[in-house]
Structure 1
Amino acid sequence: MNILFLSIGRLNNIEDRGLYTDLLRQFRDNGHNVYVVSPREKRLNKPTEYGSDNGVKFLRVRIGNITKTNVIEKGISTLRIEGIFLKAIKKYLHDIKFDLVIYSTPPITFGKVISYVKKRDNAKTYLLLKDIFPQNAVDLNMFSKKSLIYKYFRLKEQQLYSQSDFIGCMSKANVDFVLKNNTEVSPDTVEVCPNSIEPVKIQKDESRIREIREKYNIPLDKTVFIYGGNLGKPQGIDFLIECLKANKVNNNVYFVIAGSGTEFNKLKTFFDSEKLTNAQLFAQLPKDDYEILANSCDIGLIFLDKRFTIPNFPSRLLSYMQASMPVLAATDVNTDIGQVIEQGKFGFWCESSDVEQFNKKIQRLCDIELRKQLGINARRYLEENYTAKHSYEIIMSHFK
């Protein structure tokens, strides 16, 4: 089959580890012809290019800047991507007949591109639903349901669903949400196709772990909790701050917060004023150092804002599971990530408004033997449920 994958993220190398590269390698390795269309931002000062990379064809399309720029430029560039992608596909991929088009959210603005290829080639279309927009923005009070911007993007969302022959959701709660709030969508077209990776074996080198911890002044004799990733509105940073405050004099634990995002400065201000002795905030670490540090910690943390009505399912979970780490998730009540974690017996959940419950889970996770068993369960659950092979087989089940 000829597979077209549309992405708003920069996919530099098909051999890189990640949600989409791991999945695309499954298609490649099973004998399919894979074509990837991805953006190349203007600030990189490179033209649109079409070529091959490790058995996968890449069409890297020059677009405006959508990262590391102001809101206005990002907005305009995002709205223009659809037309620019369509023009590039017509120019460079006009002689390829695609059997399947795969795309993910965000964004929800690929409608014209999908419609064109679907009609031209009679292709099937598969949406990997990773983000339910614009409702997530409404949840965080970015705009209201009465606003024109909501109505515009809601229409785009509905068009995207109607163009998708199949919609793969991250979890059962996502499936239920889509069907409940989009009654025009047929239940036969919506299924669970979870976030997934190709797990690699994490070798824990004790001497290297000791070296990294000493380098960054992280104690060896405390239970170390790590949060790594985006530090923005969706993570509900105010609750994280409350939890750090509540554990300020807890000598049994240590918190490592590493990441970037719109709320980083709020966290930095908090750290600067509180002078915490059992927590550190890192903006940017060398990639190798971060991976060793993350894999040498004891428990992985996940935070989601308590206001969410949509069931988010952060992919950060997979990296913790890959490293055989227990997980503590503090989230809203609408996501089912907590149910998955607790039913899979690889961690705990609490609501991201309940500091007392968070602290109780923290104390339980200071038990070394419990942590060890939860970590074994995490790795096992990953290999049994969340591998790229699983996702590949779910998608391909529609073509047998």
Structure 2
Amino acid sequence: MNVLFLSIGSINHIEDKGIYTDLLRQFRENSHCVYVVSSREKRTEMPTEYKKENGIHILKVRIGNITKNNKFEKGISTIRIEGQFLRAIKQYLGEVKFDLVIYSTPPITFEKVINYIKKRDDAKSYLLLKDIFPQNAVDLNMFSRSSVIYKYFRWKEKRLYKVSDYIGCMSQANIDFLLEHNTKISASSLEICPNSIDPIAIIKDENKINLTRNQYNIPTDKTVFIYGGNLGKPQGIDFLIQCLQANKNNKQAFFIIAGSGTEFAKLKAYFDKEQPMNAQLYEELPLEEYERLVNACDVGLIFLDYRFTIPNFPSRLLAYMEATMPVLAATDANTDIGKVIENGHFGLWCESNNVSQFNQKLEQLHEQEVREAMGKNARAYLEQNYTAKHSYEIIMSHFE
């Protein structure tokens, strides 16, 4: 089949690790012809570009800035993406007839592009639902349900669902939420198609772990908890800071926070003021360096704002599982990530508005035998449920 994949993410190299590149390589390895249309922000000062790399066609479309900017610029740039993608596809891929178009949220503004491909080529469409917008923004008080902004994006969201033949959700809670709040969606079009990767073998080498810990001045006699990824409003950074403060004198625990986002400055201000002796903060690290750091830690942390009514399922969970690490998740009560973690016996969960509960879970993970057992369960669960091959087979089940 000719497969078209749309993403506002910047896909630079198809061999890079990631939930989308790993999936796309599965299509390539199963003899499909893959075309990727992704974005290139204006700040890069690079034009729209079309190339073929390792058997996959990549069209990089120049768009406005949608990251690291103010809400107004981000909103305008997001609205314009649809027209920019459509023009680029007509210009560079006008002669290609597609059988399947795959796309993810965010954004929810691809409906015209998908409709165009479906009508032109009689293609099928598959939505990988990674985000439920605009409700997530309402949950965080970014705007209200009565606002014009909400009504516009809610209209676009409904149109996106309508044009999607199949919707792959990250978990059962996502399916339940969609059905409850979108009565026109057919239950038969929904299925679980989770975040997934092509896991690599990671050998726990104590010498390398100690070298990495020494390099980063991480103690070897404490349980090391790491949070890596986006540091924005969805992560509930205020609660993360409360947890760090509550454990400032904890002689058994050491915390590493590594990432970037709109709330990084708030975290840095806390570190500058309090100078916690058992915590370190890093801006976003190169992937290889970050992975080496993760592999030298003991427990992976996940944080989500307690106000969420939508069931998020962060993909950073996969990096921890790949590294054979247990997970401590502090989230809202509506996501089922905690249920998955605890039912799979590879971590612990608490609500992200209860510091004492977080500390109780933290204490349970100081036992090395507990961590090792949970870590093995994490890796096994990943290989059984969250591989890119698994996601590929779910999507292709509709075409075989």
Same fold (TM over 0.5): yes
1:306-361 Cα distance to aligned partner (Å, 9 max, x none): 00000000000000000000000000000000000000000000111111111111
Q: Equivalents in 2 of 1:288, 1:51: separation in Å?
A: 26
Q: Equivalents in 1 of 2:336, 2:310: separation in Å?
A: 10
Q: Equivalents in 2 of 1:73, 1:352: separation in Å?
A: 31
The equivalent of 1:341 in structure 2 is: 341
The equivalent of 1:383 in structure 2 is: 383
Q: Equivalents in 2 of 1:86, 1:96: separation in Å?
A: 14
SS of 2:397's equivalent in the other structure is helix
How far does residue 184 in structure 1 lie from its aligned partner after superposition? Answer: 0.3
How far does residue 24 in structure 1 lie from its aligned partner after superposition? Answer: 0.3
Q: Identify if the C-alpha distance between structure 1 residues 289 and 47 changes in structure 2 by more than 3 Å, giving closer, same or farther.
A: closer
Q: Equivalents in 2 of 1:135, 1:340: separation in Å?
A: 23
How far does residue 81 in structure 1 lie from its aligned partner after superposition? Answer: 1.1
Counterparts of 1:101-250 in structure 2 under 5 Å? Answer: 101-250=101-250
Q: RMSD of the alignment, in Å?
A: 1.1
Q: Equivalents in 1 of 2:307, 2:95: separation in Å?
A: 48
With the length of structure 2 as denominator, give the TM-score of the two structures. 0.98
How far does residue 62 in structure 1 lie from its aligned partner after superposition? Answer: 1.8
Q: Equivalents in 2 of 1:223, 1:323: separation in Å?
A: 16
1:201-239 Cα distance to aligned partner (Å, 9 max, x none): 112332222222112211000000000011111111111
Residues 97 and 121, structure 2, Cα contact 8 Å, conserved in 1: yes
Residues 68 and 261, structure 2, Cα contact 8 Å, conserved in 1: no
The equivalent of 1:395 in structure 2 is: 395
Give 1:211's aligned amino acid: L
The equivalent of 1:81 in structure 2 is: 81
Q: Which stretch has the larger CA shift, 62-71 or 288-297? A: 62-71
How far does residue 164 in structure 1 lie from its aligned partner after superposition? Answer: 0.2
Q: Equivalents in 2 of 1:263, 1:64: separation in Å?
A: 22
Residues 212 and 289, structure 1, Cα contact 8 Å, conserved in 2: no
Q: Identify if the C-alpha distance between structure 1 residues 68 and 235 changes in structure 2 by more than 3 Å, giving closer, same or farther.
A: closer
Counterparts of 1:8-157 in structure 2 under 5 Å? Answer: 8-157=8-157
1:76-103 Cα distance to aligned partner (Å, 9 max, x none): 2221111111111111111111110000
Q: Equivalents in 2 of 1:291, 1:115: separation in Å?
A: 39
SS of 2:370's equivalent in the other structure is helix
The equivalent of 1:360 in structure 2 is: 360
The equivalent of 2:307 in structure 1 is: 307
Report the number of matched residues: 400
How far does residue 72 in structure 1 lie from its aligned partner after superposition? Answer: 3.1
Q: Equivalents in 2 of 1:46, 1:266: separation in Å?
A: 32
Identity of aligned pairs, percent? 70
SS of 1:383's equivalent in the other structure is helix
Q: Equivalents in 1 of 2:177, 2:326: separation in Å?
A: 28
Give 1:180's aligned amino acid: E
Residues 301 and 329, structure 2, Cα contact 8 Å, conserved in 1: yes
1:229-272 Cα distance to aligned partner (Å, 9 max, x none): 11111111111111111111110110111111111111111112
Q: Equivalents in 1 of 2:138, 2:44: separation in Å?
A: 33
How far does residue 58 in structure 1 lie from its aligned partner after superposition? Answer: 1.0
SS of 1:184's equivalent in the other structure is coil
Residues 108 and 156, structure 1, Cα contact 8 Å, conserved in 2: yes
Give 2:280's aligned amino acid: Q
Residues 210 and 220, structure 1, Cα contact 8 Å, conserved in 2: yes
Residues 108 and 156, structure 2, Cα contact 8 Å, conserved in 1: yes
Q: Which stretch has the larger CA shift, 379-388 or 49-58? A: 49-58
Q: Equivalents in 2 of 1:248, 1:123: separation in Å?
A: 56
Q: Equivalents in 2 of 1:52, 1:77: separation in Å?
A: 27
Q: Equivalents in 2 of 1:187, 1:49: separation in Å?
A: 39
How far does residue 286 in structure 1 lie from its aligned partner after superposition? Answer: 4.3
The equivalent of 1:268 in structure 2 is: 268
How far does residue 45 in structure 1 lie from its aligned partner after superposition? Answer: 2.5
Q: Equivalents in 2 of 1:37, 1:238: separation in Å?
A: 36
Q: Which stretch has the larger CA shift, 375-384 or 348-357? A: 348-357
Q: Equivalents in 2 of 1:269, 1:211: separation in Å?
A: 29
How far does residue 46 in structure 1 lie from its aligned partner after superposition? Answer: 2.4
Q: Equivalents in 1 of 2:15, 2:356: separation in Å?
A: 43
Residues 68 and 262, structure 2, Cα contact 8 Å, conserved in 1: no
Q: Equivalents in 1 of 2:63, 2:21: separation in Å?
A: 21
Q: Equivalents in 1 of 2:287, 2:20: separation in Å?
A: 20
The equivalent of 1:253 in structure 2 is: 253
Q: Which stretch has the larger CA shift, 86-95 or 25-34? A: 86-95
Give 1:119's aligned amino acid: K
Unpaired segments ≥5 residues, structure 1:
none
Give 1:333's aligned amino acid: A
Give 2:275's aligned amino acid: K
SS of 1:15's equivalent in the other structure is coil
Q: Which stretch has the larger CA shift, 348-357 or 376-385? A: 348-357
Q: Equivalents in 2 of 1:211, 1:249: separation in Å?
A: 25
SS of 2:179's equivalent in the other structure is helix
1:117-169 Cα distance to aligned partner (Å, 9 max, x none): 00111100000000000000000000000000000000000000000000000
SS of 1:399's equivalent in the other structure is coil
Q: Equivalents in 1 of 2:389, 2:355: separation in Å?
A: 38
Residues 252 and 366, structure 2, Cα contact 8 Å, conserved in 1: yes
